[in-house]
Copies of this chain bind each other. A is one copy, B any other.
Amino acid sequence: MISKAKIKYLNALHQKKHRHKEYLFIAEGPKIVAEVLQQQKFQIKHLYASKLWIDKNTSIYNKYYSLTTLIGANELKKISSLKNPKEVLAVLEMPNKPQNLPEETDIALALENIQDPGNMGTIIRIADWFGIKTIFCSEGCVDIYNSKVIQASMGSFLRVAVHHGQLVDFFDAQKTIPVYGAVLGGDNLFKSTLKTPAIILIGNEGKGLSEAMQERINHRITIPKNGAAESLNAAVATAIICASFRQ
């Protein structure tokens, strides 16, 4: 049983400003919550769980029972951001992340104004697949603690460090790693010499990279087109470029 005030408080966490005021965010569903609990990278603030989930996860429940509230399906619906809420919802603390690239970086992604949560989650998942551990996001990007981003990343947000900030500051802080920018009319990606360490810079879904960001590019690259589509989805372009680097 949870109070109306608590339902209101939890729903506020579906909004960016409240998340960042409270330094908390929400992850939902048994699969993602199981990964969160296993990896222990995020502090658990609270779990809201159905009887079904508790019955299936007794050892976890025994460990976290003081942080767990048993709730019914109707209550879960009231606090969930999903159309079909799934058994369990975790409230997690946002980590404090260093704003620098780790020294052993081979590839990092820099994203300018990626606004679609599905795209952002998919890009995090692509990074995780290709062993890319760091993503820098401009302030115009969708909040990575948005529940749709968390869901679309399929647990990969646990393994990839995603930073938000001014991309200009990020590029100023590191000047030794070459920047490969995805642009129209650049060099053919498939014929380019791709060397690591590298930063792959991807622009907004509709507008591409801003002029300020284009100035930071060392290698202008383009995915060659055989057909007629005007553009590729930002996550798809990211995937093709990452694959070319790993090949």
Q: Chain A residues in contact with chain B, CB under 8 A?
A: 118, 122, 125-133, 154-156, 159, 190, 223-233, 235-236, 239-240, 243-244, 246-247
Contacts and interface: CB of A to CB of B under 8 A. Distances in A.
A132 B227 contact: yes
Interface class of chain A by DSSP: loop
Given A223-B243, A243-B240, A230 B155 contact: yes
Contacts of A235: 233, 236
Nearest to A125: B229
Given A128-B228, A129-B229, A130-B226, 5 more contacts: A129-B226, A129-B227, A130-B225, A131-B226, A236-B236
Copy total for this chain? 2
Given A227-B127, A240-B243, A233 B132 contact: no
Nearest to A223: B243
Contacts of A156: 228-229
A129 B232 contact: yes
Nearest to A226: B131
A232 B227 contact: no
16 contacts: A126-B229, A126-B232, A126-B233, A128-B228, A128-B229, A129-B226, A129-B229, A130-B225, A130-B226, A130-B227, A131-B226, A132-B227, A154-B231, A156-B228, A156-B229, A239-B239
B154 A229 contact: yes
